[in-house]
Structure 1
């Protein structure tokens, strides 16, 4: 990586090379060619980063594409973001639509809207508020909560006419304390499990307490 210390600010159309910086601000049609390491980075608009990002604080919004990994202490992603690598940090917050992420590792994971993560989410605390289609192979954590948020007003009316119901689709969920709504899963495994409304679960394995809402379907229950 190029040894550069300083600030970057791109507004409108602009391009910079990767390197080490203090603060980075990109808006409009800005792009970064290569890996970038910095303290704080803010990206908005139709930005493109052709490499990895490593920072303390990361905020991405707009139609942003990242062709590498996103590593940071505090990561806040909104808008329409595509990232091809790993998402790793202490606190990760996702809103809007996020696609193509390989996997996600953090202490605390919060998401609202829709997302597509190819492999897994691994976090101590997982809180997913479903407002769109969500897909991940595996969710692992100590405290896992998945809830459905009903859209209201004109947007909710359009969704009811033209969209499938927002759900989380996952192969397996494993945690100590689990609460699920609007979830389609092959296996849910944990200590204390509560299945809320409109879930379809093939197998539940639990060792503590289990509660299943009458509006959900579970094919097999195994007490460990």
Structure 2
């Protein structure tokens, strides 16, 4: 029989890690040690000096997890730093800024703010309305990127990949290109690929559309290639 108790802290609080039922933190809180709970709700500033495992996580404010994180559902409205690997089995929604020291595995990932990882991101569905910086591979079945911020990744692999820009070109982007809302990648590979405002060395797939604002070094396609007059492509090969 599960005899877990709830953990609640308000103001400035400190507690030991362990197994809990529901964790509610309001204010400045620190938990020393690995924490296993059914739900965690943090409002304010939270530090967990260890790993966190919870069925659901809600963070509003600033938080740091010194170990890894494993959850089914997480909503971030603020800033979260995870030092190790992160797993979100069902739905991850990032409305603020998420930084992960290693990689991220999930089912569905929604990025309305920004995501930074030191390793790969693997999921079934990746929906981006903000920006990301992935120091590895982004691998997903369905990838939909609506560019509002700079996006950078080493490689992208997926079945259906779409990259579009929602906002108009701003004056500041003309003088500070690093702030430009575009995707930068070395390799993009998928079945159906539709790109805008993308810079890549290699794009490889079955059906490919290279739209406006793209600079691609080499395109390798199997069935069909469509290109915008504004797109720049170095070499084209049908495979």
Instruction: State whether residues 34 and 52 of structure 2, in contact with CA within 8 Å, keep that contact through their aligned partners in structure 1.
Output: yes
1:130 aligns with 2:138: no
Give me the whole-angstrom Cα distance separating, in 1, the residues matched to 2:171 and 2:201: 30
CA-to-aligned-CA distance 1:172-206 (integer Å, 9 cap, x gap): 00000000000000000000000111100000000
TM-superposed CA distance for 1:46, in Å, is 1.6
Query: Could you say what secondary structure the match of 2:148 adopts?
Result: strand
Q: What CA distance in whole angstroms lies between the structure 2 residues aligned with 1:8 and 1:18? A: 13
Residue number in structure 2 paired with 1:204: 219
Deviations 1:45-88 (A, max 9, x none): 12111111111101122122111122012111121221112111
Alignment partner for residue 27 of structure 1, among 43, 54, 58?
43
Name the residue aligned to 2:87.
Answer: 71
Aligned counterpart, 2:102: 85
**Residue in structure 1 matched with residue 115 of structure 2 by the alignment:** 98
Q: Which segment drifts farther, 157-166 or 191-200?
A: 157-166
- Deviations along 1:131-155, whole A, 9 cap, x unmatched? 111100000000000111115xxxx
Q: Secondary structure at the match of 2:61?
A: coil
1:168 aligns with 2:177: no
Is residue 178 of structure 1 aligned with residue 193 of structure 2?
yes
Q: What is the TM-score of this pair, normalised by structure 2?
A: 0.87
Q: Quote the Cα distance in structure 1 between the aligned partners of 2:20 and 2:113.
A: 32
Larger radius of gyration: 2
Higher mean alpha-carbon deviation, 72-81 vs 119-128, is at 72-81
Structure 1, gaps ≥5 residues long: none
SS in structure 1 of the partner of residue 62 of structure 2 = coil
CA contact (8 A) 1:199 1:216 kept: yes
Aligned-pair CA distance for 1:19: 2.1
Aligned to 1:221: 236
Say whether 1:60 aligns with 2:76.
yes
Q: Provide the TM-score with structure 1 as the length reference.
A: 0.92
Is there any run of 5+ residues in structure 2 with no aligned partner, and where? 1-16
Q: Deviations over 1:156-178 (max 9, x none)?
A: 86745764321100000000000
**What do you get for the CA RMSD once the two structures are aligned?**
1.6
User: Per-residue deviation at 1:34?
Assistant: 0.6
